[in-house]
Amino acid sequence: MIRTLSRAALAAASLLVLAAPALSHDGHDHGEAGPVVVGDLEISGAFTRATLPSQPAGGGYLVITNTGDEDDRLLDGAASFAGDVQVHEMAVVNDVMNMRELADGLAIPAGETVTLQPGGYHLMFMGLSEPLVEGETVTVTLEFERAGEVEVSFAIAAAGARGAPDDHPAHGGHGEHEDAAHTH
Ligand SMILES: [Cu+2]
């Protein structure tokens, strides 16, 4: 297909300026990558959180802006440090906030910004092969329906970083915790 690349590039460039300072945390910024542009998508603020050796899964968080005229969709992901990467949402089931996989992916509507964050939509790194260590970075390949595949660097923040109220490295037992609730 033919795209108006110059227009997309201009739009992406202006967004980069706006998005760059949007996220900050306690110092360990040295490994954090800048915004990534793929097709009409601009991806920024990607981070995950340090895990305990006993933690089977970790959450991934990022901001995705669709600067184009066509809807896109985050379908899937892959990472060398995890057995699987899934797209999850939080949902209330039987009065309990829990998470579930979005089998059809997550819509990234044209002209809109979708934020994956603690307590909301997020990536789930299933079957961690090693603990995630604060201050390091990991690379995750994301697959979008239209924009295709893109590699994104995720900064590893402290366990419980960025203020999610239910966010602490528990070992399970209460369903609201997205990092501990997985058994599959
Ligand atoms: Cu999850």
16-61-88 Cα angle (round to 5): 130
Closest alpha carbon to 63 in 116, 136, 15, 104: 116
CA of 14 to the centre of ligand 1 (A): 32
Model pTM? 0.70
CA of 148 to the centre of ligand 1 (A): 23
CA of 165 to the centre of ligand 1 (A): 16
Closest alpha carbon to 131 in 182, 86, 82: 82
Asked if 177 and 166 count as a contact pair (C-beta separation under 8 A), the reply is yes
Asked if 77 and 141 count as a contact pair (C-beta separation under 8 A), the reply is yes
Asked if 43 and 180 count as a contact pair (C-beta separation under 8 A), the reply is no
| 164 vs 160: CA distance, rounded Å | 7
CA of 88 to the centre of ligand 1 (A): 5
H or E, element range at 173: none
CA of 10 to the centre of ligand 1 (A): 34
CA of 157 to the centre of ligand 1 (A): 17
127-131-135 Cα angle (round to 5): 135
CA of 137 to the centre of ligand 1 (A): 20
Q: Tens-digit pLDDT profile for the chain (184 aa)?
A: 444 445 545 444 444 444 444 444 444 444 444 689 999 999 999 999 999 999 999 999 999 999 999 999 999 999 999 999 999 999 888 888 899 999 999 999 999 999 999 999 999 999 999 999 999 999 999 999 999 999 999 999 999 886 322 334 443 434 444 454 454 4
Going through the chain in order, the beta strands assigned E by DSSP cover: 36-38, 41-49, 57-66, 72-78, 82-93, 96-101, 106-108, 113-116, 122-128, 137-144, 148-157
CA of 181 to the centre of ligand 1 (A): 8
CA of 41 to the centre of ligand 1 (A): 23
CA of 119 to the centre of ligand 1 (A): 9
Closest alpha carbon to 154 in 177, 127, 136, 179: 136
Please give the C-alpha separations between residue 42 and each of 97, 112, 124, in angstroms, as whole numbers. 30, 11, 20
CA of 133 to the centre of ligand 1 (A): 19
Structural domains in the chain? 5-157 (2.60.40.1890)
